């Protein structure tokens, strides 16, 4: 149990709630991780990240990815791929193991063109690399990746095996057509096709992971984008399918969550008989036995994270995660499974101003970031919390996701960077004199520091009165060895500004974002 103790003249404190693990902290740095693996991983430790996400695109490893003719090679053997394709990932895997930073490897598209299907329309994105990728060939690729990072594989020319990876996910945002999987729907968008394709990709990848000794690992499915197009004729070939529509077709149910039948079932690759329906869970074990379901429940602009978007029942942003949970619990039960998937949030972040004038101003983005994490922490089905990205893409870059903790020049975003390192949220910010306020937060770097020092980590809850004067410590919280989080109640003596303060051993003292409170 974490505890709070008083500090400072006239200060008061209250017991911290019983420690519980809360969501695991995941971070996807992307480009900086490849440019400077050691430095970026060291920064991840300083920020207190539990796990670093690495995405391995199929076409970045495969030989001749831009050819329509499949090269002659054993695609299940990692040694049969060009060595240069693996080198950056091998470096990250070795450096992460050396620094004690667990990895999370996501495998997916784009497909090499020789593994994409025929019939892509003229002008298809990426030359048709998202069009009907071959499940069997994807399975061979996953077999190669999983073999390489099994902990037993020594690359040619190396003297020692590569470290093991034991955390995986399958494909990325399969409900997005342009960038990930196409066609999304046919027959004027009345028949969903991407869910059946994804079902095949999961089957193949699941089998490959079982065959290569990873059956007991963490394996996630889903990785769905939160939004989609709902106008007539959408999503078409390359649009965005709303996630709950995608899931209904994936698990072969209609809008009332009843099993599809007849022609509707056949058109979506679903069981058409009662006997086949009874075999569905057995035939698609990944859909029912995966460790958890991954979601990217991004917010919508400047909308607070607790708002369920109106008139969008098939969207899944953070506030509407219960919709996802209800659908998954219902459809797995239909097939006789008692599985209750944990939900892994594996992408999240806020578009900020700067640099995007349509994003949330940095103080608001920082508030929303902490509020969102509090919502995730409060939901016991949520097992991970993700930050995407580290550095904003520069102008003209491959992505418009200015959700990084740093601007494109590497300068930390004021308030926003601090909000990630030391989250602080007060659900209620005003109270009568003598009443307490709930103070929730996280000393994210505490985990690695505790491993090094074997000493409990404490943070100060500080107040700067509106009447003037410096910040002074009102309460001290000790975080447990199992979790960075604390949840306590504190009686503040006056209105003012609240913050957390925590000191790195033999290093600087860092602070959370400030929160204004009113007492009286």
| Residues 461-480 pLDDT 10s | 999 999 999 999 999 999 98
Q: What does the pLDDT look like over 437-452, one tens digit per residue?
A: 999 999 999 988 888 8
Residue 399 is predicted with a pLDDT of: 66
Residue 393 has pLDDT above 80, yes or no: yes
pLDDT single digits (tens) 152-175: 999 999 999 999 999 999 999 999
pLDDT value of position 18: 43
pLDDT in tens, 213-271: 999 999 999 999 999 999 999 999 999 999 999 999 999 999 999 999 999 999 999 99
Report which of residues 193 and 301 the model is more confident about. Answer: 193
Closest CA relative to residue 387, chosen from 46, 30, 115, 149: 30
Q: Is the pLDDT of residue 398 over 70?
A: no
Confidence of residue 6 (pLDDT cuts 50, 70, 90): very low
User: Is the peptide bond between 330 and the residue preceding it cis, with omega within 30 degrees of 0?
Assistant: no
Average pLDDT over residues 300-321: 93
Summarize the chain as % helix, strand, coil (round to 5): 30, 20, 50
Contact 280, 265 (CB under 8 A): no
349-358 pLDDT, tens digit per residue, is: 999 999 999 9
Split at pLDDT 50, 70, 90, the class of 77 is very high
Burial class (CB in 10 A: 0-12, 13-18, 19+), 467: exposed
CA–CA separation, 180 and 197 (whole Å): 11
Lowest-pLDDT range, 143-152, 446-455, 504-513? 446-455
pLDDT digits (tens, 9 = 90+) for 10-21: 334 443 444 567
State the Cα–Cα distance between residues 145 and 453, nearest whole angstrom. 36
pLDDT beyond 80 at 65: yes
The more confident residue out of 309 and 412 is: 412
Check pLDDT > 60 for residue 25: yes
pLDDT at 16: 44
For residue 12, the model assigns a pLDDT of: 40
- Res 497 pLDDT > 80: yes
CB distance 484 to 443 below 8 Å: yes
Mean pLDDT value of segment 452-456: 81
Separation of alpha carbons 409 and 420, rounded Å: 19
Strand partners, 472: 463
Contact yes or no for 261/277 (Cβ under 8 A): no
Print the SS3 string covering 251-281: CCECCCCCECCHHHHHHCCCCCCHHHHHHHH
Residue 4 pLDDT level (bands cut at 50, 70, 90): very low
Is pLDDT larger for residue 394 or for residue 42? 42
Give the mean pLDDT of the chain: 94
CB contact at 8 A, 343 and 293:
yes
- What CA–CA distances, in Å, run from 52 to 84, 97, 325, 377, 457? 22, 11, 25, 19, 23
* DSSP-derived 3-state class of residue 288: helix
Other beta carbons within 10 angstroms of residue 474's beta carbon come to: 23
Report cis status (omega within 30 of 0) of the bond before 410: no
- Does 183 sit behind a cis peptide bond, omega within 30 degrees of 0 on the bond before it? yes
8 — pLDDT class (breaks 50, 70, 90): very low
Go through the domains of the chain in sequence order and give each one's CATH number. 3-17+424-519 (2.60.40.730), 24-421 (3.20.20.80)
Burial class (CB in 10 A: 0-12, 13-18, 19+), 222: buried
Phi, psi angles (nearest 5°) of residue 431: -155, 160
* % of the chain with per-residue pLDDT over 70: 95
Q: How far apart are CA 278 and CA 271, in angstroms?
A: 9
Cβ-Cβ contacts under 8 Å for 179 (sequence gap 6 or more): 125, 130, 173
Give dist(CA 100, CA 92) in Å, integer: 12
pLDDT at 20: 61
At 395, the pLDDT band (50, 70, 90 cuts) reads low
Position 7 pLDDT exceeds 50: no
Above 80 in pLDDT, residue 348? Answer: yes
């Amino acid at each position: 149990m974490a505890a709070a103790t008083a500090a400072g003249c006239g200060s008061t404190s209250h017991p911290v709630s019983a420690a519980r693990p809360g969501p695991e902290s995941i971070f996807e740095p992307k480009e900086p991780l490849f440019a400077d693996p050691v430095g970026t991983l060291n920064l991840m430790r300083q920020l207190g990240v539990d796990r670093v996400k690495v995405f391995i695109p199929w076409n970045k490893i495969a030989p001749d990815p831009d050819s329509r003719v499949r090269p002659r090679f054993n695609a299940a053997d990692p040694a049969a791929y060009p060595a240069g394709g693996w080198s950056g990932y091998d470096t990250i895997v070795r450096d992460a193991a050396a620094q004690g930073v667990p990895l999370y490897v996501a495998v997916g598209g784009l497909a090499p063109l020789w593994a994409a299907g025929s019939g892509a329309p003229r002008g298809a994105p990426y030359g048709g690399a998202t069009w009907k990728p071959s499940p069997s060939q994807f399975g061979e690729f996953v077999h190669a990746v999983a073999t390489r990072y099994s902990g037993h594989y020594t690359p040619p020319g190396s003297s020692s095996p590569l470290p093991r990876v034991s955390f995986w996910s399958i494909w990325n945002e399969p409900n997005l057509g342009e960038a990930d999987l196409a066609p999304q729907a046919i027959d004027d968008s009345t028949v969903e096709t991407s869910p059946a394709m994804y079902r095949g990709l999961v089957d193949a990848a699941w089998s490959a992971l079982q065959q290569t000794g990873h059956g007991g690992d963490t394996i996630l499915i889903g990785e769905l984008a939160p939004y989609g197009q709902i106008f007539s004729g959408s999503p078409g070939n390359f649009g965005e399918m709303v996630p709950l529509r995608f899931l209904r077709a994936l698990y072969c149910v209609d809008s009332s969550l009843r099993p599809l039948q007849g022609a509707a079932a056949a058109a979506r690759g679903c069981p058409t008989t009662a006997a086949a329906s009874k075999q569905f869970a057995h035939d698609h074990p990944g859909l029912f036995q995966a460790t958890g379901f991954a979601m990217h429940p991004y917010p919508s602009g400047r909308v607070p994270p607790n708002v369920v978007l109106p008139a969008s029942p098939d969207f899944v942003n953070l506030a509407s995660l219960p919709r996802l949970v209800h659908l998954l619990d219902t459809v797995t039960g239909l097939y006789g499974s008692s599985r209750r998937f944990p939900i892994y949030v594996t992408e999240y972040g806020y578009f900020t101003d700067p640099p995007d004038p349509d994003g949330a101003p940095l103080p608001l983005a920082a508030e929303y970031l902490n509020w969102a994490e509090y919502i995730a922490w409060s939901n016991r089905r949520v097992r991970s919390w993700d930050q995407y990205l580290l550095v904003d893409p520069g102008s003209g870059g491959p992505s418009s996701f200015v959700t990084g903790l740093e601007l494109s020049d590497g300068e930390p975003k004021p308030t926003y960077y601090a909000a990630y390192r030391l989250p602080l949220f007060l659900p209620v910010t005003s109270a009568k004199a003598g009443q307490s306020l709930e103070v929730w937060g996280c000393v994210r770097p505490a985990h690695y520091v505790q491993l090094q020092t074997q000493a409990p980590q404490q943070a100060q809850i500080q107040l700067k009165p509106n009447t003037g004067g410096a910040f002074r410590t009102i309460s001290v919280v000790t975080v447990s060895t199992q979790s960075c989080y604390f949840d306590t109640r504190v009686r503040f003596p006056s209105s003012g500004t609240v913050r957390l303060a925590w000191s790195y051993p033999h290093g600087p003292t860092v602070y959370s974002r400030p929160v204004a409170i009113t007492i009286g």
